[in-house]
Amino acid sequence: MWYMNEERELLRKTFRDYAVKRVRPLGQEMENEEIHAKSREALLEMGKLGMFTLPVAEKFGGTGPDYISWALLLEEIGRESATFGFLTLLRQVFNGPMQAACSPEQIEKFVKPAVNGEILIGLAGNEPAGGNNLFEYQTRAVRDGNDWVINGSKVLVTQADEVDYFMVLALTRDQVDFATMAGIDMFFVPTSDPGFKVGHIEHKVGLNGSRTGSVYFNNCRVPDSCRMPNPMALLMLFGPELSGYAAIALGGAEAMIEKTADYLKNRIQMGHSLWEMHQATRHDLAKLKMDIYNFRNAVYGHMANRNAGIHDTLEAGALKAATGPLLEKVASECMMLMGGTGVIHETGIERYYRDAKALEIACFSDKTFVDNVANSL
Ligand SMILES: Cc1cc2nc3c(=O)[nH]c(=O)nc-3n(C[C@H](O)[C@H](O)[C@H](O)COP(=O)(O)OP(=O)(O)OC[C@H]3O[C@@H](n4cnc5c(N)ncnc54)[C@H](O)[C@@H]3O)c2cc1C
Question: Residue ranges per domain, the chain?
Answer: 6-119, 122-230, 242-376
Closest among 350, 339, 337, 302 to 323, alpha carbons compared? 302
- The predicted structure's pLDDT at residue 170: 95
* In contact, 27 and 80? CB cutoff 8 Å: yes
Check the CA dihedral 74-345-265-21 and report its sign: positive
Closest among 237, 272, 284, 211 to 55, alpha carbons compared? 237
Listed in sequence order, the DSSP H helices in the chain are 6-18, 24-29, 37-48, 67-80, 82-101, 104-106, 112-115, 231-241, 244-266, 274-277, 279-307, 313-337, 339-342, 349-362, 366-376
- Mean pLDDT value of segment 96-124: 92
Give one DSSP letter per residue of 24-61, joined into a string: HHHHHHTTSGGGTHHHHHHHHHHHHTTTT-TTS-GGGT
Neighbour count for residue 262 (Cβ, 10 Å):
12
361 lines ligand 1 (CB under 6 A): yes
Report the atom number in ligand 1 closest to the C-alpha of 359: 1
Higher-pLDDT residue of 261, 97 = 261
Judged against a pLDDT cut of 70, whether residue 35 lies above it is answered with no
Judged against a pLDDT cut of 70, whether residue 30 lies above it is answered with yes
- The predicted structure's pLDDT at residue 311: 83
Confidence band (pLDDT; 50, 70, 90) for 139?
very high
Lowest mean pLDDT among 41-55, 65-79, 281-295: 41-55
288 lines ligand 1 (CB under 6 A): no
- Mean pLDDT value of segment 78-85: 94
Confidence band (pLDDT; 50, 70, 90) for 60?
confident
132 lines ligand 1 (CB under 6 A): yes
**What is the CATH class of 242-376?**
mainly alpha
What is the CATH architecture assignment of 122-230? Beta Barrel (2.40)
Decide whether 122-230 matches 242-376 in CATH topology.
no
14 lines ligand 1 (CB under 6 A): no
Cβ-based neighbours of 335, under 8 Å, separated by 6 or more = 342, 343, 349, 350, 353
- The predicted structure's pLDDT at residue 34: 66
Tens digit of each residue's pLDDT (9 = 90 or more) over 236-274 = 777 778 889 999 999 999 999 999 999 999 999 999 999
- The predicted structure's pLDDT at residue 89: 93
Report the atom number in ligand 1 closest to the C-alpha of 158: 8
Residue 201: φ, ψ to 5°: -95, 125
pTM: 0.93
327 lines ligand 1 (CB under 6 A): no
122 lines ligand 1 (CB under 6 A): yes
Coil, helix or strand at residue 201: strand
Parallel, antiparallel, or unpaired: how do β-strands 140-144 and 147-158 relate?
A: antiparallel
Give one DSSP letter per residue of 283-313, joined into a string: HHHHHHHHHHHHHHHHHHHHHHHHHTT---H
Tens digit of each residue's pLDDT (9 = 90 or more) over 271-327 = 999 999 999 999 999 999 999 999 999 999 999 999 998 888 888 888 988 999 999
Closest among 155, 156, 163, 144 to 227, alpha carbons compared? 144
Judged against a pLDDT cut of 80, whether residue 148 lies above it is answered with yes
Q: CA angle, 202 as apex, 196 and 207 as ends, to 5°?
A: 110
Lowest mean pLDDT among 6-20, 92-106, 326-340: 92-106
157 lines ligand 1 (CB under 6 A): yes
- The predicted structure's pLDDT at residue 370: 73
C-alpha to C-alpha distance for 68 and 157, rounded to whole angstroms: 28
Give one DSSP letter per residue of 115-129, joined into a string: HTTS--EEEE--BTT
- The predicted structure's pLDDT at residue 282: 95
Higher-pLDDT residue of 131, 118 = 118
Centre of ligand 1 to C-alpha 12, Å, is 32
C-alpha to C-alpha distance for 168 and 130, rounded to whole angstroms: 15
- The predicted structure's pLDDT at residue 100: 85
Closest among 201, 203, 249 to 85, alpha carbons compared? 249
Lowest mean pLDDT among 90-104, 155-169, 226-240, 360-374: 360-374
Confidence band (pLDDT; 50, 70, 90) for 183?
very high
- The predicted structure's pLDDT at residue 61: 74
What's the mean pLDDT when you consider all of the chain? 91
**Considering the chain, what percentage of its residues have pLDDT values greater than 90?**
69
Among 93, 126, 189, say which to mutate for ligand 1: greatest number of ligand atoms within 8 Å of CB: 126
Judged against a pLDDT cut of 70, whether residue 216 lies above it is answered with yes
- Mean pLDDT value of segment 73-79: 96
283 lines ligand 1 (CB under 6 A): no
C-alpha to C-alpha distance for 12 and 21, rounded to whole angstroms: 14
Residues 300-322 as b or e (16 or more Cβ within 10 Å = b): bebbeebbeeeeeeebbbbbbbb
Confidence band (pLDDT; 50, 70, 90) for 117?
very high
The HSE-up count of residue 94 (CA atoms within 13 Å, CB side) is 30
What is the CATH architecture assignment of 6-119? Orthogonal Bundle (1.10)
- The predicted structure's pLDDT at residue 324: 92
C-alpha to C-alpha distance for 229 and 118, rounded to whole angstroms: 23
Lowest mean pLDDT among 33-42, 106-115, 147-156, 159-168: 33-42
Residue 142: φ, ψ to 5°: -115, 135
